[in-house]
Every structure is written in C-alpha cells, then in structure tokens.
C-alpha cells in the first residue's frame, strides 16, 4: 500500500509527466557506464582505455552541470534541455561507429567528453520544479525523498537493462538504447507544462553565486561525503567479493545497497517529522555514517548482503534532506545552478572514493577500502554538524508558498 504522503505527491497537478521524463532519462544514465565500458573495451581490448573514456565523460559532466544550471536559471529549461540533448545523442551516437572502426582512443575520449559536457540536466531541472508543484514544505520532503528513491531504482534497473541488451545483442545496441531513452526522456520532460512554464528569477531579483552561500557550501561538503562513500564501497565490495571467489556477486551487492537506500528513503519520506528541517541533516547524517560501521569488518560474502543493505538505509534520506534544504539555501535565481554544484560535489566525491579505495584495495585489502567509504560517511556527518547553524537558519525559511502549484 502506497503511503498517503507519496499518493499526495504523485497526485499533485503537473507532477506525472516531468517525473516520467526524468525517470526515463535516469534509466539511460544508469545504463550508460556498463554499455560504454564494454563497447570501448571490445574495441581496444583494454579496461584501462574504457575507464579513461568513462572518466572523461564523468569529469566533463561534473563541470558542465553548474554551467547548464546557470543558463536554465536565466533563460528557462526548454531551450537548454533541447540543445544539450541533441548534442549528447550525437556524441554517444558517434562513439558507436568510432568503437566499431577501432578508432584512436583519443577520438573516443573526445566523444565521451562531449557527451559528458552535454549531459541533459533533467535531475536538476526536476528539483527546481518541486517547489511549484508541491507548495507544502512538509509534503515536499516526501517529494524529494521520492526523487532520491527514483535514482536508486534507476541504478538497480539501468545496469540490468544494459546487461540484458548486451547479452541479447551487443554493447553497441545497449548504448543505442541509452541514446533513445535519453531523447525520449528529454522530450517528455521538456514538453511538460510544468517545465515549459518554469521561469528563473528576473536579473534584478537574482542573488549572488550559490558558492557565496555558506549553507550551500555546507550541503556541498555533505554531498562530497556521500559521493566518497558510494564510490569507495562500490570498488571495495567488488574487490571483497573477488577475494572470496565470488566476483560475479559484486554487482549484486552494490544493488543490495541501493535496495537498502530505497527502503530507508520510503520509510523516511512517509513520516511527518516534528524536528525542524534545519536540524534533520545532522540527524540523518549520523544514521548514514553509523550504518556503514559494521560493513568495515564484514567477514564473509554471505554476511555482506545484510550489511550492504544496512549501509544504504541512510543514503536516500540524506540526499533528500540535502535537496530540501537547498530549496531555501540557494540565493534567489540560482536554484538549478546550486543543484548542479551539489551534483558536481557528489560526482567528484565518487571519483575520489573510487581512486582512494582502489589504492587501498591494491596496497592493503578490501577492508581498508571499506574504511575509505566509512570516512566518506563521517565527512557528510562532519559537514552537517559543523554547518548546523547555517542549516537551522535556512530551515526557518521553509514556509508554505502562497502561489498554487503549476
């Protein structure tokens, strides 16, 4: 049975179409890494080359999202989404014949970079719509939680979808499916009434850069820790499974963490919390950090399954509260750009977590790599606790909107 809070969110006027569009787009994004890695590896025979192309894509996406967000804040969503979606489809579309023709690695890396620079910012755009679609700030927590849970679901289903297409066809076919889903998701989202009607704040009403807001910097620090945790545990638990002769279960264990996040998020978002929203991030960040502790000493693959689920229970609630607070912390007229900076912090954190855990696993053990993930959890907790005064002042600004939902 669907909790009442989620029914109210999903039943709000104008929510269904943009939410469907961003969900389709997220499936494509989640399926792209596996499709790209196997495509490039098949061409070059090297996972290192495949990792380079994927790194170019990820770093370019991290750098472009705030820029795209600033453009959306100034000229609206439709035109920006339309242009970057076409460029993104052409870049990924070019990667397929380049790989088939055994083109130089530099050419494939360039295609990956352009694809990253043109990643459609549908997630950031959707989060900027929630304030208008769900004016009640208490109900908006359920909206942001639903948004965070949808990401986890995409990262469970997306790679699975890619694996099925690859098994039935090829990595080229899987990447082609990703391109098709990206186009479809962007058309559905940008064509929605809510997206077309959304307007940024006029120039004379805009605030300063979101990077000048102490509260936004606190949220970026918390998001950085989330990225470190996710990136480090992804590498480390895969290495742990391999060390125990069960390499094929690495992906399943990562998916189990996402399942735990979905469960924790759905429970959290359906509750009517009395604690002020400004006080919630330190609280959920504490759960987020503590839930990782047992995983560091995981003794076997069998025990890893429940401990991975446990390590995910605070993930979606933490992300949901970060974006709920960003609603009031972002200076006027910078909502989408601020969201882009938080996403960039998560992506950079994941890259740091991947790299640091990779070194830890190589020179010591998978357990040391899991310690890196735990450090990420405490980075989030530390940022939330040290910046709690900025978060409390922002939380008091979250009052119901007078205007109707679009």
Instruction: Name the percent of the chain in helix, strand, coil, to the closest 5.
Output: 80, 0, 20
Is the confidence at residue 20, as pLDDT, over 80?
A: yes
Q: Which of 216, 222, 224, 223 is nearest to 383 (CA)?
A: 222
pLDDT band for position 202 (50/70/90)?
A: low
Q: Kindly report each contact of residues 58-61 with a partner whose C-beta sits within 8 Å and lies 24 or more positions away, as own/partner.
A: 58/116, 58/347, 58/350, 58/351, 59/116, 59/347, 59/351, 60/112, 60/113, 60/114, 60/115, 60/116, 60/117, 60/119, 61/116, 61/117, 61/119, 61/347
pLDDT one-digit tens code per residue, 263-292: 888 888 777 767 777 778 899 999 999 999
CB count in 10 Å sphere of residue 79: 12
Sequence ranges of the domains in the chain: 15-200, 207-406
pTM of the entire structure?
0.80
Measured CA to CA, the distance from residue 330 to residue 24 in angstroms comes to: 27
Measured CA to CA, the distance from residue 262 to residue 315 in angstroms comes to: 9
- The two domains 15-200 and 207-406 share their CATH topology (first three levels equal): yes
Q: Is the torsion defined by CA of 218, 135, 276, 285 positive or negative?
A: negative
Tokens of residue 262, six digits: 């979905």
Q: What is the DSSP string of 149-189?
A: HHHHHHHHHHHHHHHHHHHHS-HHHHHHHHHHHHHHHHHHH
Provide the pLDDT for residue 205: 53
Residue 332 near residue 213, CB atoms below 8 Å? no
pLDDT band for position 143 (50/70/90)?
A: confident
Is the confidence at residue 142, as pLDDT, over 60?
A: yes
Is the confidence at residue 147, as pLDDT, over 70?
A: yes
Q: What are phi and psi of 46, to 5 degrees?
A: -135, 125
Measured CA to CA, the distance from residue 374 to residue 66 in angstroms comes to: 28
CATH number of the structural domain 15-200: 1.20.1250.20
Q: What is the mean predicted confidence (pLDDT) over 393-406?
A: 43
Residue 98, CA distances (Å) to 48, 94, 111, 144 in order: 17, 6, 9, 39
CATH number of the structural domain 207-406: 1.20.1250.20
* Lowest-pLDDT range of 114-123, 133-142, 202-211: 202-211
Q: What is the mean predicted confidence (pLDDT) over 125-148?
A: 84
* 193 or 46, which is more confident: 193
Question: What's the mean pLDDT when you consider all of the chain?
Answer: 85
Helices in 313-334 by DSSP H: which ranges?
315-329
Measured CA to CA, the distance from residue 214 to residue 222 in angstroms comes to: 13
pLDDT band for position 2 (50/70/90)?
A: low
Provide the pLDDT for residue 400: 39
Tokens 């300063």, residue? 208
Q: Which of 163, 74, 185, 49 is nearest to 119 (CA)?
A: 185
Q: What are phi and psi of 313, to 5 degrees?
A: -65, -30
């Amino acid at each position: 049975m669907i909790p009442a809070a989620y029914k109210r969110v999903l039943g709000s006027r104008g929510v269904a179409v943009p939410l469907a569009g961003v969900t389709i787009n997220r499936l494509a994004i989640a399926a792209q890494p596996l499709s790209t890695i196997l495509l490039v590896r098949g061409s070059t025979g090297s996972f290192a080359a495949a990792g380079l192309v994927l790194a170019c894509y990820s770093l370019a996406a991290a750098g472009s999202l705030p820029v795209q967000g600033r453009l959306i804040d100034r000229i609206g969503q439709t035109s920006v989404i339309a242009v970057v979606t076409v460029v993104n489809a052409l870049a990924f579309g070019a990667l397929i014949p380049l790989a088939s023709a055994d083109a130089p690695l530099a050419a494939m890396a360039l295609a990956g970079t352009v694809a990253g620079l043109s990643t459609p910012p549908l997630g950031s755009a959707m989060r900027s719509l929630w304030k208008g679609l769900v004016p009640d700030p208490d109900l908006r927590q359920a909206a942001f939680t639903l948004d965070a849970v949808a990401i986890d679901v995409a990262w469970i289903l997306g790679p699975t979808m890619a694996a099925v297409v690859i098994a039935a066809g090829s990595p080229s076919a899987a990447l082609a499916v990703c391109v098709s889903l990206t186009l479809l998701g962007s058309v559905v989202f940008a064509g929605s009434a809510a997206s077309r009607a959304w307007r940024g704040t006029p120039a004379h009403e805009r605030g300063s850069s979101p990077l000048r807001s102490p509260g936004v910097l606190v949220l970026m620090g918390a998001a950085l820790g989330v990225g470190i945790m996710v990136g480090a545990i992804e590498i480390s638990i895969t290495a742990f499974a391999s060390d125990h002769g069960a390499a094929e279960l690495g992906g399943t264990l990562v998916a189990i963490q996402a399942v735990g996040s979905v469960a924790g998020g759905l429970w959290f978002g359906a509750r009517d919390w009395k604690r002020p929203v400004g006080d919630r991030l330190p609280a959920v960040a504490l759960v987020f950090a503590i839930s990782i502790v047992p995983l560091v000493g995981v003794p076997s693959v069998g025990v890893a399954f429940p401990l991975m689920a446990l390590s995910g229970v605070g993930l979606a609630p933490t992300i949901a509260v970060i974006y709920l607070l960003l609603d009031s912390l972002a200076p006027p007229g910078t909502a989408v750009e601020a969201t882009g900076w938080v996403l960039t912090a998560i992506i950079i954190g994941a890259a740091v977590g991947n790299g640091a855990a990779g070194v830890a696993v190589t020179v010591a053990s998978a357990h040391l790599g899991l310690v890196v993930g735990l450090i990420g959890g405490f980075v989030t907790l530390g940022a939330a606790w040290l910046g709690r005064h900025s978060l409390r002042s922002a939380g008091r600004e979250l009052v119901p909107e007078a205007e109707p939902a679009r």
